[in-house]
Chains A and B, each alone.
Chain A
Amino acid sequence: MGNWIINHGLTALILVVWMGINIFLFVYFYFFYDLGDQFIYTRHVLGSALAWARAPAAVLNFNCLLILLPVCRNLLSLIRGSFICCGRTMRKQLDKNISFHKLVAYMIGLMTAVHTIAHLLNVEWYNNSIRGEYDALNNALSALEDGENTTYLNPIRSNSTTPTHFVFTTLAGITGVIITLALILIITSSMEVIRRSYFEVFWYTHHLFVVFFIGLVIHGAGRIVRSQTTTNPPHNTSFCFDQPDQWGKISECPVPQFAGGFPGTWMWVIAPMFIYLCERLLRFIRYVQKVTYRKIVIRPSKVLELQLVKSGFKMDVGQYVFLNCPAISALEWHPFTMTSAPEEDFFSVHIRSAGDWTEKLISIMEQLPEGAEGPKMGVDGPFGTASEDVFDYEVSMLVGAGIGVTPFASILKSIWYKFKESNPKLHTRKIYFYWLCRETHAFEWFADLLQVLEAEMEERGMGNFLTYKLYLTGWDKSHATHAMVHFDEETDIVTGLKQKCHYGRPNWDIEFEQVRKENPSSVVGTFLCGPAVLGKTLEKKCVKYSDVDPRKTKFYFNKENF
């Protein structure tokens, strides 16, 4: 239990607080509309459907405020930077921004459904009321005119209209339909299946959120939710309730007056909208800044390495940038982790062919004549993720699966530089590096880096600073035979490294046990860049092998996600 608290405690707390605020808003506004005296007459026509519509509206206001914030990556980077004093756990929460965005989106979807259904009932009952299908009080209320000295309660003014007609001729109705439609389209195109396979559909359709927010802000401008205002002389509601025919004739019952509710949504969402606008503006400014190519290399197995230079660009280990190439697509920005170290005077990315955009980029580069400058490239970033924290831990376990090894390329290079400069920022005493890969031929560019590091460390006698294990998960019989025959050789047959390739997947229990044994009272940070399934496995192991006791080893899990 203690282990769970260490790894998940703060996340759980944030979720509890968020849910608590949602529940509070719902209940508070439900009772505000269901018990408030100013709504007695409104409730007579609508019943509790009024409260059922207004309560989710409040929750919607709150969540529409929240939804824009987790996707402002520059803002998050800023917060991340300023939390350096406040500990790893706080910063780890910022890595879960997209999960939170999705959760808030689900809440918005759910509340929209409740809100819409309640309003369907409201419109139907208002319509029935003006057609005289209900009691005398209803008729009196609906008969209140929208005139010079009189105010109305029932927003439907004609007794020969339909609810559909009413909805499409009022601001609230039409904006409601449009923004709900936008929301539905956003949600269906954001389903995992669509997002993973056809990112463009997801990305372009998601921009309907602009329509959503504009519609949301003007949704309440028609002020059709009416409450009773105080008149002079005052209208004694409890007395006049049963005598609608006496209104305006006796002194206790002047004709009741009504006014529409103040549209308050803009107050909730204006700040996040502004922040998001700044975010997009910043991305645009970054796009316009000049980026030059230092080197373009096509690596084996269709991996493209780009070394770029941009003035004023400063990065940290394991950060990523968004690249945009107008020659391929003017509107698409794609994230890539940087593989260079902060100590170098350029930044590099290794790009593998994994979809339309990357394929086109690689083919453009392949067709470039020798020495020519590459196509114009926009760069937004750098943005920080979990890998930044790797030097804070005394011991780090780095796990990279396949192309997920890229942030760790940056880290290992940075270590190399820090070693050479004897940089005191390096708290790390020991690094365990696990690289899982299916095929041999994706190894080459990284194997070169490891060879250099290996040599450096041997030279300085720091052989046991970095322990790395390479796992070939896509082995077959021929690999096994080859390995058997060359068993006795010093260096690995596949990579040429001193440490041998392992075949198959790692046995994590044994690995964690070994790390725990070798580092008895340390705090170990585990970093993964790879598939979610592996993340779950590692997370479980971290919880399993951690101990609340400060004299024993503690494992913290950090996940990099795209």
Chain B
Amino acid sequence: MGKIEWAMWANEQALAAGFIYLTGGIVGVAGQFRGWEFAAFGVAAGAFVCLLEYPRGKRSKGHSMERTGQYCFTMCLKAFGPLTRNYYFRAFLHAALCVPGGFMLATVLGCVCLGISSLIYLSAAIHGEHWEPILPRTESRAPVGESVKKPPQNPPPRPPVELRRKRMEDLEGAAYVNPISVTANEY
């Protein structure tokens, strides 16, 4: 399958799983189902996974598409350093989080989806991938050409003012032919 970055798919799957876990948990708690404690855990775990997975990582090759407003999440995740960078850790975290979901019907689907994303993350980790934050590019201006650094000190040489002033008495004499042909600006 070529140079696929598994982490990208794992991320989509985990985000969806977090959302499903959360929804299942809400249904379980709101409906006061038997075993609602597991549902409550599902709400917390689902929300946590959503927050963790929302910022996309930087792709090793090619252009990375950010999700809307992910910058603050990226900064939070960056602060955790190796915990969020490493995909082995993430794989085991998701596996651990998904287990309580299996004890209650409403969260079973969230559990399985999160489990699958854990497996995909494991595959990503085995392939040596890791999470890199997408940071805004610092625009490095190309160094300005040398000649611009030293603007000229003096104005260009011109004939004295008397000669430059437009001669109203002699319009014919003042007219001249432009040495370079002038064409009308098309746009």
Interface residues of A (CB under 8 A from B): 113, 116-117, 120-121, 123-124, 127-128, 162-164, 167, 177, 180-181, 184-185, 187-189, 191, 193-194, 197-198, 200-201, 204, 355-356, 507, 510
Interface 1/0 per residue, B97-113 and A, CB below 8 Å: 00000111110110011
- Which residues of chain A have C-beta atoms less than 8 A from B105's C-beta? 120, 123-124, 162-164, 167
B9, A181: Cβ atoms closer than 8 Å: no
- Which residues of chain A have C-beta atoms less than 8 A from B24's C-beta? 120
Shortest Cβ-Cβ A-B pairs, 10 listed:
A356-B2, A163-B105, A188-B12, A198-B4, A164-B105, A200-B1, A188-B13, A124-B33, A188-B16, A120-B106
In the complex, how many angstroms separate the beta carbon of B112 from the nearest chain A beta carbon?
A: 6
A-B contact count (CB 8 A): 89
CA distance A167 to B108 in the complex (A): 11
**A-B pairs with beta carbons under 8 Å apart, 14 shown:** A117-B27, A120-B27, A124-B105, A162-B35, A163-B34, A163-B105, A164-B102, A164-B105, A177-B108, A184-B17, A184-B113, A188-B16, A204-B1, A356-B3
Interface residues of B (CB under 8 A from A): 1-5, 8-9, 12-13, 16-17, 20, 23-24, 27-28, 31, 33-35, 56, 59, 62, 65, 102-106, 108-109, 112-113, 116, 187
CA distance A474 to B108 in the complex (A): 53
Q: Is the interface of A mostly helix, strand, loop or mixed?
A: helix
B31, A198: Cβ atoms closer than 8 Å: no
Beyond A117-B27, A184-B17, 14 additional contacts (C-beta under 8 Å) are: A120-B105, A124-B105, A162-B35, A167-B108, A181-B109, A181-B112, A184-B113, A188-B9, A193-B12, A197-B8, A197-B59, A198-B1, A198-B5, A200-B4
CA distance A163 to B103 in the complex (A): 10
Q: Is the interface of B mostly helix, strand, loop or mixed?
A: helix
A191, B187: Cβ atoms closer than 8 Å: no
- Which residues of chain A have C-beta atoms less than 8 A from B103's C-beta? 164
Partner of A191, one of B12, B23, B35: B12
- Which residues of chain A have C-beta atoms less than 8 A from B102's C-beta? 164
A200, B2: Cβ atoms closer than 8 Å: yes
B108, A164: Cβ atoms closer than 8 Å: yes
B109, A116: Cβ atoms closer than 8 Å: yes
- Which residues of chain A have C-beta atoms less than 8 A from B109's C-beta? 116, 177, 180-181, 184
Known: A164-B105, A185-B116, A200-B2. A117 touches B23 (CB 8 A): yes
In the complex, how many angstroms separate the beta carbon of A512 from the nearest chain B beta carbon?
A: 15
In the complex, how many angstroms separate the beta carbon of A34 from the nearest chain B beta carbon?
A: 19
A164, B13: Cβ atoms closer than 8 Å: no
- Which residues of chain A have C-beta atoms less than 8 A from B16's C-beta? 184, 187-188
B23, A189: Cβ atoms closer than 8 Å: no
- Which residues of chain A have C-beta atoms less than 8 A from B34's C-beta? 124, 127-128, 162-163
In the complex, how many angstroms separate the beta carbon of A185 from the nearest chain B beta carbon?
A: 7
B108, A201: Cβ atoms closer than 8 Å: no
- Which residues of chain A have C-beta atoms less than 8 A from B28's C-beta? 120
A181, B33: Cβ atoms closer than 8 Å: no
- Which residues of chain A have C-beta atoms less than 8 A from B62's C-beta? 197
In the complex, how many angstroms separate the beta carbon of B162 from the nearest chain A beta carbon?
A: 37
Chain A residue nearest to B17 (CB atoms) is: A184
CA distance A185 to B112 in the complex (A): 11
CA distance A127 to B9 in the complex (A): 37
In the complex, how many angstroms separate the beta carbon of A450 from the nearest chain B beta carbon?
A: 23
CA distance A177 to B23 in the complex (A): 16
B113, A194: Cβ atoms closer than 8 Å: no
CA distance A501 to B167 in the complex (A): 45
B2, A181: Cβ atoms closer than 8 Å: no
CA distance A177 to B35 in the complex (A): 20
CA distance A194 to B16 in the complex (A): 14
